[in-house]
Amino acid sequence: MQFGLFYEWPNPTLRDWKTLYEEGVEEIQYSEEMGFDYCLIAEHHFSNYGNSPAPLLQALHIGQQTKRLKIATGILVLPIWQPLRLAEEVAVLDNLIDGRFICGVGRGYQPHEFGRFGVTVPESRQRFSESLEVMIKAWTQDESFTYDGEYIKIPN
């Protein structure tokens, strides 16, 4: 059995963000000392419900402050990302924290998050599928590739 923490960084009382993040990292460091195995970081935008709009940056910071703990996204809202760029950033992040990153992705569910990034809820399903295909190709193919989806286009 493994144990982990899930972080959304909710801030309903509008505390200072730097302090909130620092306290979260201290808790995560303590969890590592207590033998916990991983930390999951959510992605949320434009809300105090859970404010972690830069989960890859947070994962990098946590990875630099810990030694053994696996750091995962739970989840990256894939339809709002450019998948080829995301695949590159995730690969670099994983290397910078010694292979301890786990990339968790999902479709997401918040209409206000989709809308602000120019994505509609109905199209998010297809965007998710196309983005996942592109990321897997980017990580598994040695050669350059093209992709011609309904929403995602990658020329050679």
Q: Which of 42, 30, 32, 38 is nearest to 1 (CA)?
A: 38
Dump pLDDT digits (tens) for 120-153: 999 999 999 999 999 999 999 999 999 999 999 9
What is the model's pLDDT at position 100?
Answer: 99
What is the model's pLDDT at position 145?
Answer: 96
What is the model's pLDDT at position 50?
Answer: 83
Cα distances (angstroms) measured from residue 80 to each of 24, 50, 56, 112, 130: 26, 17, 14, 12, 12
- Number of compact structural domains in the chain: 1
The domain of 27 spans 4-154
Residues (pLDDT < 70) of the chain are: none
Which residues are within 8 A (CB) of 85 and not within 5 positions of it... i.e. 6 or more apart? none
CA 43-78-94 angle, 5° bins: 75
What is the model's pLDDT at position 128?
Answer: 99
Residue 61: CATH number of its domain = 3.20.20.30
